[in-house]
Amino acid sequence: MTNPQHKVEVLEKRTVFQGYYRVDAYRLRHALYQGGMGAEISREVLERGHAILVLPYDPVRDEVVLIEQFRIGPFARGDHPWCLEVVAGIIEDGEALEAVVRREAREEAGIELSDITHAMDCYTSPGAISEQISVYCARTDASLAGGVHGVEAEGEDIKVIVLPFAEVMAALAEGRINSAPVIVAIQWLALHRSEIRRRWLA
């Protein structure tokens, strides 16, 4: 619930860059905890739209379908740029979230989903990025998963990797999975795995 004392006064908003993503610059003031309004501050925000992320899980085989692809962020930092992740995609205007989940699962991993379960919504980096991610977990048949997928026109080259749940948790503990939203999804499954298996296998 929004606190009415949490007031924000936008003095100026302008787009300072428009490329693959957009950057907007704000001049604003916001309410202070001790009362009144603070001094003017300037902030830039990366606008890249909002996204879904889905962790495909096979409760029969106790396996998770992961994907691996090149990522510019780690590359720019000098880290290994092929990241272990899960299916994700940007939500287009007017799209139903579950429709995006199903589309991205087909495009990125070549799999079908059922029992699509909403886990939570979260921000990737609220200090600089407007993007909110809707996190899902869904049932799939991991025995049918594999190969290389992606939309060629979008430059996607995505390898499917199927791992037992225990190996996924080991990869998480060893730091081989280092994308924050993916970590959130896996930790959610770890907390709810018994309930999910009981429900989906009933």
Could you state, in order of their start, the residue ranges of all structural domains in the chain?
8-47, 51-200
Question: What's the CATH code, domain 51-200?
Answer: 3.90.79.10
Task: Report in angstroms the alpha-carbon separations of 64 from 5, 41, 47, 52.
Answer: 44, 44, 31, 17
Cα–Cα distance measured from residue 26 to residue 9, given in angstroms and rounded to the nearest whole number? 10
Residue ranges in the chain modelled with pLDDT below 70: 1-2, 4
The full length of the chain comes to 202
Is residue 154 annotated as a catalytic residue, yes or no? yes
Q: Are 73 and 46 in contact (CB under 8 A)?
A: no
> Containing H/E element for 168?
helix 165-173
pLDDT at 55: 98
Helices 180-200 & 165-173, crossing angle to 10 degrees? 160
Give pTM, 2 decimals: 0.89
pLDDT at 36: 93
Q: Which of 152, 154, 174, 195 is catalytic?
A: 154
pLDDT digit string, tens, across residues 8-56: 999 999 999 999 899 999 999 999 999 999 999 999 999 988 999 999 9
pLDDT at 123: 93
pLDDT at 42: 97
